[in-house]
Amino acid sequence: MTTSERKFIGFSRKVFWAIFLSCLGILMVSMLLASKIFSSRILEEYQDRYSSLSSLIGENIRETEESAERTMLNSALLVRSLDEHGILSTAELKALAQKTSVTHIFIIDQEGQFIRSTNEDPGLIPNLFSFCPDYKNRLNSHGAIIDATPIIQPHPEPNPFKFLIIPNSAGDRLISVGLRVDFLSSSLKRFQQQDPNIQAIEIYSPRGGLLGRFGPKEVELLGDRLEEIPQMDFDLLETDDALLYSQWTASNHRDCCQCKTSGDVRNGHYDYLIRTQVSKAALIEAQNSLFVVLCILGLFSVLISLVLARLISTRLVTRLKMLHRQVGANLNNNSGLEPLDESGSDELSDLSRSFNELLRQREKHQKDQVELERLKKEEELSSLAAQVSHDVQSPVSTLRMLGKEIQPRLKDEHREILEAVTNKLQEMTSALLRRYRGEREHEIRPIEDLASSIHRIVDEKRLEFAPRVNVLISVELDPELGGLAIPLSETELARVLSNLINNAVESCDDLPSAEVQVIGKLSTRTESVRIEVIDNGRGIPSELVPKLLSSGGTYKKAGHGFGLKHARSSLESIGGRLSLASAFPTGTKVSLRIPIRLRRELPEGFRQMVLIEDDKSVQKAWALQAAEMGIEFYSAESETEIPFNRISKDAEIYVDGHLAEGRSGVDVCKKLYKLGYQKLYLASSDYRIKCPDYVVRVGKDFPFSRSA
């Protein structure tokens, strides 16, 4: 096993455990959250269920009381009808109580003393009016008033009862019927039979006295008073094995006189406190079931984490091994680096694409280096050719001039030899210059200091015509031309001016002296430079001017150079113009208009500008200057990355001439023009590109002045 294989195995294990523990942790946290949520929901539903049940129990108690009161009233009315024939005996009352399903029947005289009782000695019962003085008013009412109590704790009776009192027909006695609280047993047991989780239902008086504890099998009527009485209408108390629901519910007789007299009221009323004891067995069982389900899911989570960790780590390490092999093969490949496999959409695919992009950049850099070396050599050869041509040109001109002077004194054969040698030397220097400069005509190196370039060109021409003492070449330039850049190379400008100066000098061959003026002026209105070459020669007939500009003809005995047609084509290719004015036979003026792009002041209200440029350094430079001027600036390598939904139709849009992947900036301008954008600029130093009329050609410099 190699070292790299051992490293990959160790890396694979690390990746496996990292993914496994991450997946397991995420799944476990999700399960814990789910457990908490579902457990809380189970408890909430359980509590809500029995909270609603407590309200149903309260309603059931009131309904059962109403039914019991009807039974008690029937019993009391039966006693009253029999009482019209005289006071019934205790035995008769017991028989009636058993017959009418009531617990007690009492007869009370008009003084409030109990004179009959079915279950106890009436003499032991306190005066009725001591329980409620208002009962005395029930006498002499001839049966029109019926009094009923809720379930209360009477004295000295230990068991809770419900009482109903009516007067007899004569109005001199009161009949009282009592029903013990266990009349509620049958109705409350139905709740317990329907839901075995209900362990007990307890009813308390407002002061906490037990009115009855109803279990599934037995009923307790005696018990301790509650030590802490709930103040809220609803309260829930949880113990280890049960839930205690306490709820206050209104009785059928909240304003009971006997209750108020005894002080057993809550907020001035007699209400029942119903406490339902519910077993937590079903709740615990549901929670245990949830726990079992979560444990099973936990096991599945472990298995899922193992499978995911295995799959992901295997895929990742396999891809890494493949990349490692490809990179190793590249390093051992003497023929060069090969691109990596870019298939897929994961991070490793992105890494492969980045590596391949690095290879492409490396290859491009190597090609650029080779091209740079080639251009450097060509530059050296071009400079050498220019120097040789320049050095040879003057002697050749001198030789040609001297040849003209001595031609009359030479024999014909000598004259032909001299002329052939002179022409051969001229042809050799021209051919040398054409070879090394002609090959580079496609390269555009715009002039950065127009004034200096013009002075250099004129100085060369002065040197060329130095043997001719009658030739005067003067220069007059605006100071603003110093440091001014134009979209024309110095080589091309030299060709044009040199040709025009040659033409001007040769037009004065028949004159005592040749005076040539080179004048340069800057026009900020037209954003152009005007260069004029004026001579005092014989001029050109007006009918020949169009031919000279169009077909490239000549009006001189022996011309050399590129001609006016070439000069005109060079200027028109950058948006310039050449014009000729001649007064035959007094002189000629040739005017060159060369466009420039001056930095403008920031227009008032200008808000947005866009730069589409694949050079990040240009983007950053423009962005900094735009930020300083408070301009809302957008830049990108492609128009598809610009949010044009936020770009106003009044925004200025600058597009590089040559974009990435061979895309044309002019095509982008055409596309934007169709979308309604009118202010379009081609930000390119390549002035060979032909633009539509609606696209303004500019350079790479930021278009606005910082002083704006």
Q: Is-contact 208 229, C-beta < 8 A?
A: yes
Per the structure, how many domains does the chain have? 4
Cα–Cα distance, 417 to 293 (Å, whole number): 116
Question: Are 533 and 570 within one domain?
Answer: yes
Structure confidence by residue, pLDDT tens digits, 407-440: 677 766 666 666 656 665 665 666 566 555 554 4
CATH number at residue 615: 3.40.50.2300
Question: Are 233 and 219 within one domain?
Answer: yes
Question: Are 654 and 618 within one domain?
Answer: yes
Question: Are 273 and 241 within one domain?
Answer: yes
312 lies in some domain: no
332 lies in some domain: no
> Where is the domain boundary, 569, 596, 623?
596
Q: Is-contact 449 482, C-beta < 8 A?
A: yes
pLDDT at residue 678, as a whole number: 92
Closest CA to 556 of 615, 619, 500: 500
Question: Are 575 and 499 within one domain?
Answer: yes
The two most distant CA atoms of the chain are separated, in Å, by 191
Question: Are 629 and 492 within one domain?
Answer: no
> Where is the domain boundary, 571, 596, 621?
596
Backbone φ and ψ of 418, nearest 5°: -60, -45
Question: Are 385 and 432 within one domain?
Answer: yes
Question: Are 98 and 124 within one domain?
Answer: yes
6 lies in some domain: no
Give burial (CB, 10 Å; 0-12/13-18/19+) of 151. Answer: buried
330 lies in some domain: no
310 lies in some domain: no
What is the side-by-side strand order in the sheet with 198-204?
219-220, 210-214, 198-204, 271-279, 242-250, 234-238
Please name the residues in contact with 674: beta carbons below 8 A apart, sequence gap of 6 or more. Answer: none
Question: Are 489 and 421 within one domain?
Answer: no
Owning domain of residue 479: 449-596
Q: Is 528 helix (H, G, I), strand (E, B) or coil?
A: strand
pLDDT at residue 174, as a whole number: 93
Question: Are 239 and 384 within one domain?
Answer: no
249 lies in some domain: yes
Closest CA to 162 of 68, 257, 94: 68
Question: Are 401 and 536 within one domain?
Answer: no
pLDDT at residue 38, as a whole number: 84
Spans in the chain with pLDDT lower than 70: 1-2, 4-5, 7-8, 141-145, 319, 326-338, 340-348, 378, 382-405, 407, 411-445, 526, 550-563, 597-600, 685-688, 705-708
Structure confidence by residue, pLDDT tens digits, 83-116: 999 899 999 999 999 999 999 999 999 999 999 9
Q: Is-contact 61 252, C-beta < 8 A?
A: no
251 lies in some domain: yes
CATH number at residue 508: 3.30.565.10
CATH number at residue 220: 3.30.450.20
Question: Are 199 and 254 within one domain?
Answer: yes
CATH number at residue 347: 1.10.287
The residues that bridge with 582 in the sheet, in sequence order, are 588
Closest CA to 351 of 315, 327, 335: 327
Q: Is the preceding peptide bond at 156 cis, omega within 30 degrees of 0?
A: yes
Give whole-number Cα distances, 623 to 251, 445, 598, 647, 685, in Å: 83, 26, 19, 16, 20
5 lies in some domain: no
pTM of the prediction? 0.43
